[in-house]
Amino acid sequence: MLIRLILMFPEAFRFRAVADLVYGPMHDSITQQATIGPYIAELIHDWGALSMALRRSDLFASFTEFRGLGISNVAQLASLLGLVLWSSKTPTRPSFSTEAISTHAASDVTSKGRQLVEIFWVQILNIDNENPGDLYGKIQIVDDLESPQYIFTRSNTNYISIRPNEFAPLTGPTRAISAYDTFYIDVSLMDHDTASSDDEVSKGQIVWNYFADNIYDQPVSQVVKGMFGSIAVSYAVTATVQVKLINGDNENPANVYGTLKATNIVSNGLIILFNKKSNEYVDIKPQQLIPLLRSVVVVPLTSSIQVIADLWDQDTSSADDPIAQGNVTFAAAASGSNIGKISGKFGVVEVNVLLGHPLGLDNFL
C-alpha cells in the first residue's frame, strides 16, 4: 500500500488518469481504492515518449504509436497529460474529457510562446588570409525535434566569393529551432583553392546546454575558428514570412533585385530574407511569391516583427525603377495572420506574416 501511494502521488501530477485514481477515494467514500492496472503502468512507462510527441505536435500530427492508449490527436494527448486548463469560473470539478478543450480552455487560457532559437548571422572573420576567399561547406543545427537542419550548405563546386567581415548568406532554418533541450551548431567550412588543396576555415561545435545558466532574450556571440556566429534564445513564437509581388513597374515578369529584411527587438535588422544585386535579378510575375533565402524567423512575444523592403526593377534601356521601399510592422501574438503592403514609385508588394503553430496548439497550452 505504501509503495503504491509513493508511486501514485507523483504520477498524479503528470497524468490525469492517475489523478482520477488518487482523487476518487480521497473525496468519495464509496469509491474503492484503485489498483495500478496495465493501462496506468503503460502511461507511466511512456511518459517521456508522450511528452516528446506533444512537443513535436506542431510539426507532426501522427500519433499512431499511441492508439493503444486511446490517443489519436494532439487534443487527446494534451488532455491525458493534464495540460489543458479549464475555467476558474466553473464551480464544480471540471471534466477531464477532451471536450473541455473547446468549452473552457479556448476562452480562458492565455497562450504562451515556446523557447526558441534564432541564428541571426554568421560572419567570416578570416578566410585563409584571402580577400576574397571562396567559401563552401556546411553549418547544421541539431535540436530535439526533427532531423538536422542546414542553414548553410554549399559544395566545393558551388562556393561563394566572400571577404573578411562579410556575412555568409543563410538559407535556413525551415522551422524554428527548439531550446527546450540542448541543441548544437555544427560548423564545417572550407576555402576552395584552384592551385592548391582546399583549406579549413572553421570546424567545431557550439553547444547550448539547457541545464546551464544560459542567457535568454538577447543575442549571444561565439567564435569558432574563424566563423563568428550569433545565437539568440527567447520565449517566442514562430513567424513565417511570405512576400508577393503585386506590381513590378507594370512588367510581366519584372526583373526584381534588392533586399528584404526582417527585424525584431533582439535581431537589430540582421535577418536577411532576400538579397540580390542588380546583375542577379530574379524574374517574378505579378501575384508570384518572391523566393526568400529563409522564411521562418522567431519573434519574442513582447516584441513585434518588421519587414523592410528595398526592391527594384532592373531595366537595360533606362534607369532602374523602385518597386517597394519602406516597411510594415506587426505585433507579436501566439497565433494569427497579418497582411500589409509596401509600395514604391513603380510598384507594390504584399507581405504576409503567419504567427504561431500550424496546428494551433498554442490556443490551449
Query: What percent of the chain lies above the pLDDT cut of 70?
Result: 55
User: Is the N-terminal amide bond of 358 cis, ω within 30° of 0?
Assistant: no
Return the DSSP state at 104.
I
Residue 110 has what pLDDT? 43
The strand pair at 254-263 and 282-284 is best described as: antiparallel
Q: How far is CA 251 from the centre of its chain?
A: 35
How many residues are given for the chain? 365
Residue 178 binned pLDDT confidence (cut-offs 50, 70, 90): confident
As a dihedral over the C-alpha atoms of residue 122, residue 126, residue 132, residue 134, rounded to 10 degrees, the angle is: -70
Residue for grid cell 521562418: 296
Q: Summarize the confidence of residues 95-105 as an average pLDDT.
A: 37
pLDDT at 248: 93
Least confident of 107-121, 149-163, 294-308: 107-121
Highest mean pLDDT among 60-69, 82-91, 175-184, 192-201: 192-201
Helix, strand, coil percentages for the chain (3-state, nearest 5) = 20, 40, 40
Between the CA of residue 320 and those of 183, 260, 323, what are the distances in Å? 45, 17, 9
Listed as own residue / partner, the contacts of 11-14 with beta carbons closer than 8 Å and 24 or more positions apart are 11/40, 11/43, 11/44, 13/82, 14/47, 14/81, 14/82
The grid coordinates of residue 173 equal 532554418
| Whole-angstrom distance, CA of residue 38 vs CA of residue 36 | 7
Q: CA-to-CA distance for 92 and 165, rounded, in angstroms?
A: 64
Q: What is the mean pLDDT of residues 9-33?
A: 50
Residue 85 has pLDDT above 80, yes or no: no
Report whether pLDDT(183) > 50.
Answer: yes
Q: Where are the beta strands (DSSP E) in the chain?
A: 114-124, 133-142, 149-154, 160-162, 177-178, 183-191, 199-208, 219-224, 227-248, 254-263, 271-276, 282-284, 296-300, 304-313, 321-331, 336-344, 347-355
Nearest to 246 by CA among 347, 353, 354: 347
Average pLDDT over the chain reads 71
Q: At what angle do helices 16-27 and 2-12 cross, to 10 degrees?
A: 120
Which of 60, 35, 45, 38 is CA-nearest to residue 14? 45
pLDDT at position 93 over 70: no
**Coil, helix or strand for 11?**
helix
pLDDT the model gives residue 165: 81
Type and span of the H or E element at 49: helix 47-55
pLDDT surpasses 50 at 138: yes
Average pLDDT over residues 2-21: 50
Confidence of residue 323 (pLDDT cuts 50, 70, 90): very high
For residues 201-217, one letter each, b for 16 or more C-beta atoms within 10 angstroms of the residue's C-beta and e for the rest, the string is bbebebebeeeeeeeee
Cα–Cα distance, 316 to 37 (Å, whole number): 78
pLDDT grade, residue 113 (50/70/90)? low
Q: Cβ distance 243 to 350 under 8 Å?
A: yes
pLDDT of residue 296: 81
- The rounded distance, in Å, linking the Cα atoms of 345 and 163 is 34
Any idea what DSSP says for residue 225?
A: T
* Whole-angstrom distance, CA of residue 290 vs CA of residue 257: 10
Summarised one tens digit per residue, pLDDT across range 239-279 is: 788 999 999 999 999 999 999 998 876 555 568 899 999 99
Nearest Cα to Cα of residue 312 among 249, 237, 267, 238: 249
Residue 64's CB: how many other CB atoms inside 10 A?
A: 8
What's the pLDDT score for residue 88?
A: 36
